[in-house]
Amino acid sequence: MRNIVSERARLIPPSGIRKYFDLCIGMQDVISLGVGEPDYATPWKICEAGIYSIEQGITSYTSNRGYAPLCEALSADLAHRYGLRYSPDAEIIITSGVSEAADIAIRAVVDPGDEVLVIDPGYVSYAPCVTLAGGVPVPLPCRADDRFKITAEGLAERVTERTKAVILNFPNNPTGGVMGRDDYREIADIIVDNDLVLISDEVYSELTYGGTHCSPGTMDDLRERTIVLNGFSKAYAMTGWRIGYLCAPKEICDAALKIHQYVMLCAPVMGQLAALAALREGEEDKDAMVREYRLRRNLFVEGLNRIGLTCHLPEGAFYAFPSVESTGLSDGEFAERLLVEQKVAVVPGSVFGEGGTGHLRCAYAVGREDLSVAIERMGAFIEGLDRR
């Protein structure tokens, strides 16, 4: 029998965290730092808007592009918050989460054989999405020594004649690294000179500590070739609502919209109405959550360094990315044994690409008490290693 499964599907690697997940199942008293989502419930004002939409019988499709008042509010909000200028009826698409936005952005610009530089370590979906689009993902490393930023040298080294696009994600999952305006300035000429498209996933934009988020779409020479992806999941604790969005110049947006309408038709209307409420009334709740993440970050990173796991202070997102090099264990072995011996779940850094090797991704989107207990247990685990 010939291969039933497509070659593209076969090319996609299975999830790198599957075996840790399997180990976790059935274990009691596990503190999980493996979950990449807020531990908060969606703020009640936002939930109310979603519930109310159902009560009112607003349960139908919206236009493919998205619920018009949401697109308009989003356009104004992006201008106010980041200085991004996108037309609500030509340059914005509301998607089913940023995951879908990333997929349609990639498929809108990548042809078979195109190389796409993918930030490494980076979110696990980018490379498979490139593969599914027929493209060739090429890792674009960011290193701890550079505070996990993309450098001009690193980018220039990997651009070839076949390179079509670059996928970046700042603030970054899993490292917590951020890029400022000067950092983008440094790589902008390479992107322009090589006629590349920049796909910028900024879903953690609101979780930027001690600085202002910079969106490369605000830079004149990059705007025409930048696709901004963002969503409501992280900032407003709305992961399950699946509302993201894509902003891009009209030509790219039109292409992405065609794909969106054939595969998704539109994002769920209840979620879109909840997202509109988030923009209108969610600011205070969001600020309170972001403030708490920052407190947790300080507490947790101090704890990691205290027990001997070197960790830079992440400037965004809610992940700490300590090195396990000092323990002599690989990140995979460390994560597995930590789970079995001390019941703390973390994600090995290598799951996020070769650049993550030797690190752990620890999500500090859990309560402060749990974070303290996690640090105690991790400390006990490392002490146990020293004694052996």
340 makes contact with other proteins (CB under 8 A): no
Taking CB under 8 A as the criterion, the residue among 67, 123, 236, 293 binding other proteins is 123
In the structure encoding, which two tokens stand for residue 382, read together? 């490392």
32 makes contact with other proteins (CB under 8 A): yes
Asked if residues 156 and 196 have their Cβ atoms less than 8 Å apart, the reply is no
- CA–CA separation, 265 vs 248, rounded Å? 19
Phi, psi of 189 (to 5 degrees): -60, -40
- In the bound complex, what is the minimum distance in angstroms from residue 63's beta carbon to other proteins? 30
Place of tokens 């609502």: 241
Which amino acid, 187?
Answer: I
Decide whether 87 or 305 has the Cβ nearer to other proteins: 305
Taking CB under 8 A as the criterion, the residue among 63, 298, 310, 326 binding other proteins is 298
Taking CB under 8 A as the criterion, the residue among 263, 265, 295, 340 binding other proteins is 295
Q: What's the length of the chain? A: 388
- CA–CA separation, 356 vs 323, rounded Å? 9
Taking CB under 8 A as the criterion, the residue among 59, 64, 73, 124 binding other proteins is 124
Taking CB under 8 A as the criterion, the residue among 11, 41, 76, 265 binding other proteins is 41
Region binding other proteins by CB under 8 A among candidate stretches 32-40, 90-98, 157-165, 211-219: 32-40
Decide whether 163 or 357 has the Cβ nearer to other proteins: 357
3-state secondary structure of 365: coil
321 makes contact with other proteins (CB under 8 A): no
169 makes contact with other proteins (CB under 8 A): no
376 makes contact with other proteins (CB under 8 A): no
- CA–CA separation, 121 vs 118, rounded Å? 9
- In the bound complex, what is the minimum distance in angstroms from residue 26's beta carbon to other proteins? 11
Q: Sheet containing 319-320: give its strands across.
A: 319-320, 360-363, 347-348
- In the bound complex, what is the minimum distance in angstroms from residue 306's beta carbon to other proteins? 10
229 makes contact with other proteins (CB under 8 A): no
- CA–CA separation, 353 vs 350, rounded Å? 5
- In the bound complex, what is the minimum distance in angstroms from residue 12's beta carbon to other proteins? 14
305 makes contact with other proteins (CB under 8 A): no
| List of residues 6+ apart from 205 with CB closer than 8 A | 82, 171, 213, 215, 230, 235
Region binding other proteins by CB under 8 A among candidate stretches 35-43, 80-88, 189-197, 216-224: 35-43
Asked if residues 42 and 236 have their Cβ atoms less than 8 Å apart, the reply is yes
Region binding other proteins by CB under 8 A among candidate stretches 74-82, 157-165, 277-285, 297-305: 297-305
Asked if residues 314 and 1 have their Cβ atoms less than 8 Å apart, the reply is no
322 makes contact with other proteins (CB under 8 A): no
Q: First CA to last CA across the chain, in angstroms?
A: 53
- CA–CA separation, 299 vs 360, rounded Å? 17
336 makes contact with other proteins (CB under 8 A): no
244 makes contact with other proteins (CB under 8 A): no
Decide whether 83 or 240 has the Cβ nearer to other proteins: 240
- CA–CA separation, 220 vs 224, rounded Å? 8
| List of residues 6+ apart from 290 with CB closer than 8 A | 206, 207, 209, 235
373 makes contact with other proteins (CB under 8 A): no
Binding residues (CB under 8 A) for other proteins: these are 17, 20-21, 24-25, 30, 32, 34-37, 39, 41, 123-125, 173, 291, 295-296, 298-299, 302, 345, 347, 368, 372
